[in-house]
Structure formats: structure tokens, C-alpha cells
Chains A and B, each alone.
Chain A
Amino acid sequence: MRESTSFKVIRVVGLAALTLFTVAPLYVMIVSGLKPLSDVQGAFSWIPSHVTVQPFVDIWRTIPLARYFSNSVIVSVSAAAFSVLIAIFASYAISRWDFRGRQLFRITVLSTQMFPGILFLLPLYLIFVNIGQTTGIALQGSRVGLIITYLTFSLPFSIWMLVGYFETIPRGLDEAARVDGAGPMRTLWSVVLPAAKPGIVAVGIYSFMTAWGETLFASVMTNDTSKTLAIGLREYSTQISVYWNQVMAASLVVSVPVVVGFLLLQRYLVQGLTAGAVK
């Protein structure tokens, strides 16, 4: 197929502009993280006066970054793992048994995106405090409370996507497994799950990213011991002067796990979206 010259010009100019828009902050983050403090206290410079990795050493001492980091890892990994597990069960039920109201389900999923988080933040906080007072199970301010909260955030989308994915798996495979004497759970384990691996991986990344980036609930439901990166990173700025080089270095460090995971697995994410969302 021939492409006209004007189309090629538009493509080159448009994509170049978008590339600059996308890359500028990434450049600033990486370069500023390699600058000495004096470089970021004056006017901006495109190139460091001398390159230093000192900010990447200092970030761990200025604030207890390691603790926030491990909190974020524990909370996000647990939330993602439970969310995926629960979504697998629910999606299997929806895709393999006759349920009425598939359209209703689709609307319900969309409507959970609609709730302003602020509407259930406060009641959830009060409920967690009350559960703590009556049963002694400390949910408020604990990582467990945060895990429970986060796993439900990604659940609707995960179920939606996995149902679409499971439905692309031919029923003939299920039938074959049943003829071989496998029960429904065995069929899920040995037939459906292996075939749906890309979808499950995509849902896992999505859940992890959701938990890793959440700020609103973390700002209210964590304390000094359970604080996650989303809240902890603000502490570089509440010092008397802002250590911008350290802020940039820390931003880079906390971004690496999600960005690397995302980029390695983006093929699965796009596949999963195609199977789940396009339906």
C-alpha cells in the first residue's frame, strides 16, 4: 500500500513531537538524579556539572526509604497475588456456567470505576477502626488493611479481562478433560490456566501497578510503620530545602520495578486487553 508524502511528513513530525513530550520528564529524572546538590539548587542545566551517583546512595539515609520500599513490595505483591487468584475463580465461574445478566455484569464493572474513591475512603477508614476496636484485628494503619483494599481495586477489571480470555479457550478442551475424568477444578488447573497464561500475567501486572501507584487510601490508612512509597517520597520535600537530585534518584528507583515489569510483559498486556476488552 502506498503512503502519500504528506502522510509521511505528518507521521514524522507528529511522532517526533510526542516523543519529546514523553521523553523530556524521563530525561530530567535520570539526569537530575546524577547531579550534585549544587546543580539542582540553581537554574536548571541540561547536563550535570559532574556526574555523581551520590544521590542514589543518599536517598536511603535521608528518609527510611528501604522500609517504605519493602512495605510497597509486600503490599503490592500480596494484593496482586490475591486479586489474581480471586479473579481466576470468579472468571471461571462466569465463563463456564450459565449465568444470566452478562450485560448487567459489564455495567457493574464499569460502575465501580465511577465511584469517587473519596466516597468510600472515610467510611472504610471508620469501619476498619471499628473492627479494630471490637475484634482487636488492627486493619487501620496496617499492611493487611491496605492489601484488602487494594486487591478489590483491581478485581473488577481483572475479572472482566479474564472472562474475555477464558471464553476464547475452546470448550472442546474442557470436554476432553471431563471425558478423561477430570472434575471442574482439575479442568481449571490443567486446561484453562495454561491456555490463559498471557491473560493472567497481564492481570497480575495490572493489579501490581494499581497497588504500587495508589496514593489516596495510602495517605489515610498508613502510619509510620506501614507507610508506602507513595506517601514516603513526599518526605524529601518536607525537609527545609528540597533535595531535588535525591527526589529524582528516588523516583527512578521506585519506578524501575514497575516499568521493567511492564515493558517485559507489555506484549501479554496488549494480548490480554485484546482478548478481554475488545469483546
Chain B
Amino acid sequence: MTATDTAVREGRRAGKGSKDSRVRRVARHRWLPYVLLAPAIIFELLVHVIPMLTGIGISFLKLNQFFLRRWLEAPFAGLSNYRYGVDFHGSIGMALLKSFGVTIAFTIVVVGFSWLLGMFAAVMLQRSFRGRALLRTLFLIPYALPVYAGVIVWKFMLSRDNGMVNHLLAQLHITDGHTFWLLGNNAFVSIVVVAVWRLWPFALLTLMAGMQSLPTDVYEAAAVDGAGMWQQFRKLTLPMLRGINQVLILVLFLWTFNDFNVPYTLFSSSIPPSADLISIHVYQSSFLTWNFGLGSAMSVLLLLFLLVVTGLYLLFTSRRSRRA
């Protein structure tokens, strides 16, 4: 077998014509892109798609610690997990609704401030002046820091007795310096400040990248026509950045809404109700009470909400940009 095989192959190699080799190369090229894409698709399936579908399946199971090791045998629960989740008269549904409200408020404030600060700094850094490169680098550091390192510093700064924030406020005679920043309603203010501190550099980075590709001649023409800074920003910069802003605001929204790292690091295990963001709420519902069916049902509700919001957002913003 090997002898004839080799002989045939030798023969082919010796006698291969130009036409034959071209055909073979085209054929090879046809499946090559799929081979190149395969690893990416396999890993995405393994880590994202299959677990997500499994998660949707689990949300219909009565899965608690008794069935954890043999979770495929957990009894079917129908829609009861969902019923608990949206029963706003029950304690579970009520807590979920509150956490959802907190998350919405948190997301709107954080995305708003992050975008405004990022836009402001990007415009201010658009023209060259002394120290611009230094500031640009400095502003990006909070985003470059690992989340847990940056946030743990804030945890120290916000601590009541040893923290820098209370010390500063007392020195400036704004408060008496004994505020609990990580408890009660103050916790919401704290987590917003920390999240903005970490997120706004990303808005800056993206907007700076976008502004680099804007043509400079239209600004010169506008200046000749007597347009002021504010008018140039409104009539030129903002419209030209519309595509970037569409994506940027969506990404900021999704990251902020799903934020887990900041509350997890800032508050450890005792999350104050005013900063009970939805990701950490679901996490604690699943991993502290070991009720995974309920946790999964909550996650699915979350995903549905995000799907609807994202869909509406893309529909609305795309239509507006087409009309413009």
C-alpha cells in the first residue's frame, strides 16, 4: 500500500501541470478561511454560547446545593424561578426590583458623567499646548490600573477614621470629618465617584482616537467664517463623532450596567442596599444561598432587558443618523 501510494504521489508531483496546481490552490483557499476562524468559534462556543444556553436551561430547574454535583438530575421547576423573581410582593422579587432601580440610576449617572468628562477633556486636549502629552498619559492611568488595585485605594480613602476624604473635607471645613462614606445612602455617591474615576478615561481614549481622524481643514474654514469654539464643537465635532459616540455610549452603558468589580472590591461581602448593583445581587443570590435556578432566572431576565434596550438603542440611533 505504501509503495504504490508513494509511487502515485511521486508521479503526481512530477507531472503536475500549471492548471492542476491552480485548481488545487483555489480549492485549498476555499476551506482555509473556515480553518482560520475555527479556533475563535470553538472557544466562543465553549465559554460563551454553550454556557449561556445552559444557563437558560438551568433557570427552569430547581437547582440547589443538593443537586450541585449531579445538576443534570435536578428536578424541573417550570416557570417558578421566574415567578419568584418578578413577584414584587414577595421579598425576593422586591429585593430584585430595588436592585434593578439602583442599577438604572447608577448606570445613567456614571455613563453621563464619564461621557461628559471624556468629551470635555478630549476637546480641551485637541489643540496642542505645553504639557498636553503629559496630561493625556496621566488621565489614562486610572483605566490602566487593575480594577481591584484602583478601587481598593478608594476604599481606604473613603474609610471613616483613616481615610483621606474625611480628612480633606474636615480641613476645608465642609463636614466634621466623621462621615460614613461606605454605608447607607452615602454608599451610592461613593460608588458613583469611584466608577466614574475608573471609566471616564476610556471615553477620553476612544474620543481622542476618533478626533485624530477628523479633517483639520473644516475647522480652519469654520474659523475663517467666524465660528467660535462652542459653535465649532456643536456644528463640526459632535456630528462627525456621531458614529463613535453611538458605539461608545452603548459600550459604557453595558459595562456599567453589568459592573461587578467595583462594588465587589469596594464593599467586600456586606453590600449596602443603596449600592446593591444587579450583578452583585444575582451573584449573592446564587453563591451565598446556593439557589442557582433562581440566580439563573434573574440573569436571563437581565439579559432580556439588555437585549431590548440595546435593540431599541441601535434602532433609534441608526435611524436618526440616516436621517441626518
A, B co-complexed: yes
How many residues of chain A get a CB closer than 8 Å to chain B's CBs? 95
Say whether B77 faces chain A, with CB atoms less than 8 Å apart. Answer: no
Contact B142 A22 (CB under 8 A): yes
How many residues of chain B get a CB closer than 8 Å to chain A's CBs? 100
A264 smallest CB distance to B (angstroms): 10
- With A123-B55, A127-B54 as contacts: A274 and B162 at CB distance below 8 Å: no
Which residues of chain B are within 8 angstroms of A119 by Cβ–Cβ distance? 51-52, 55, 296, 299-300, 302-303
- With A152-B43, A209-B144 as contacts: A270 and B162 at CB distance below 8 Å: no
A220–B287 Cα gap in the complex (Å)? 9
Contact B258 A44 (CB under 8 A): no
Contact B148 A230 (CB under 8 A): yes
Which residues of chain A are within 8 angstroms of B46 by Cβ–Cβ distance? 148, 152
What are the interface flags for A38-61 relative to B under an 8 Å C-beta threshold, 1 for contact and 0 otherwise?
Answer: 001111110000000000000000
What are the interface flags for A236-262 relative to B under an 8 Å C-beta threshold, 1 for contact and 0 otherwise?
Answer: 010000001001100110110011001
Say whether B39 faces chain A, with CB atoms less than 8 Å apart. Answer: yes
Chain B residue at minimum C-beta to C-beta distance from A18: B121
Chain B CB within 10 Å — which of A114, A118, A130, A259 has the most? A118
Say whether B310 faces chain A, with CB atoms less than 8 Å apart. Answer: yes
Contact B43 A1 (CB under 8 A): no
Contact A93 B37 (CB under 8 A): yes
Residues B165-207 near A (CB distance < 8 A):
166-167, 197, 201, 205-206
Contact A41 B43 (CB under 8 A): no
Which residues of chain B are within 8 angstroms of A137 by Cβ–Cβ distance? none
- With A118-B279, A124-B47 as contacts: A89 and B206 at CB distance below 8 Å: no
Contact A25 B154 (CB under 8 A): yes
A154 smallest CB distance to B (angstroms): 11
B184 smallest CB distance to A (angstroms): 21
Chain A CB within 10 Å — which of B50, B164, B300 has the most? B164
Contact B47 A262 (CB under 8 A): no
Q: Known pairs A123-B50, A124-B47; list 20 more (Cβ under 8 Å).
A: A22-B141, A25-B153, A40-B162, A41-B162, A93-B33, A96-B33, A111-B310, A117-B258, A126-B68, A127-B50, A213-B148, A216-B264, A219-B264, A220-B287, A234-B265, A248-B156, A251-B150, A255-B150, A270-B205, A277-B206
Say whether A165 faces chain B, with CB atoms less than 8 Å apart. Answer: no
Which residues of chain B are within 8 angstroms of A44 by Cβ–Cβ distance? 162-164, 166-167
> What are 6 pairs between A and B in contact, CB < 8 Å?
A2-B223, A11-B129, A25-B197, A118-B260, A118-B299, A123-B52
Say whether A104 faces chain B, with CB atoms less than 8 Å apart. Answer: no
Chain A CB within 10 Å — which of B46, B208, B210 has the most? B46
Counting from the closest, the 5 A-B pairs by CB-CB distance are A120-B51, A119-B299, A123-B54, A93-B36, A93-B33
Say whether B209 faces chain A, with CB atoms less than 8 Å apart. Answer: yes
Contact B40 A86 (CB under 8 A): yes
Interface residues of B (CB under 8 A from A): 25, 29, 32-34, 36-37, 39-40, 43-44, 46-48, 50-52, 54-55, 58, 68-69, 71-72, 117, 120-121, 124-125, 127, 129, 135, 137-142, 144-150, 152-154, 156-157, 161-164, 166-167, 197, 201, 205-206, 208-210, 212-213, 219-220, 223, 228-229, 243-244, 247, 250-251, 254-255, 258, 260-261, 264-265, 268, 278-279, 282-283, 286-287, 292, 295-296, 299-300, 302-303, 306-307, 310, 314
Contact B157 A28 (CB under 8 A): yes
Which residues of chain B are within 8 angstroms of A230 by Cβ–Cβ distance? 146-148
Contact A25 B157 (CB under 8 A): yes
A90 smallest CB distance to B (angstroms): 4
What are the interface flags for A76-114 relative to B under an 8 Å C-beta threshold, 1 for contact and 0 otherwise?
Answer: 000000000011011011101101000000010011111
Which residues of chain A are within 8 angstroms of B302 by Cβ–Cβ distance? 116, 118-119
Say whether A155 faces chain B, with CB atoms less than 8 Å apart. Answer: yes
Which residues of chain B are within 8 angstroms of A252 by Cβ–Cβ distance? 149
Chain A residue at minimum C-beta to C-beta distance from B131: A15
- With A248-B153, A262-B144 as contacts: A23 and B47 at CB distance below 8 Å: no
Interface residues of A (CB under 8 A from B): 1-4, 7, 10-11, 14-15, 18-19, 21-26, 28-29, 32, 40-45, 86-87, 89-90, 92-94, 96-97, 99, 107, 110-124, 126-127, 129-130, 148-149, 151-152, 155-156, 159, 183-184, 209, 212-213, 215-216, 219-220, 229-230, 233-234, 237, 244, 247-248, 251-252, 254-255, 258-259, 262-263, 266, 269-270, 273-274, 277-278
Which residues of chain B are within 8 angstroms of A93 by Cβ–Cβ distance? 32-34, 36-37
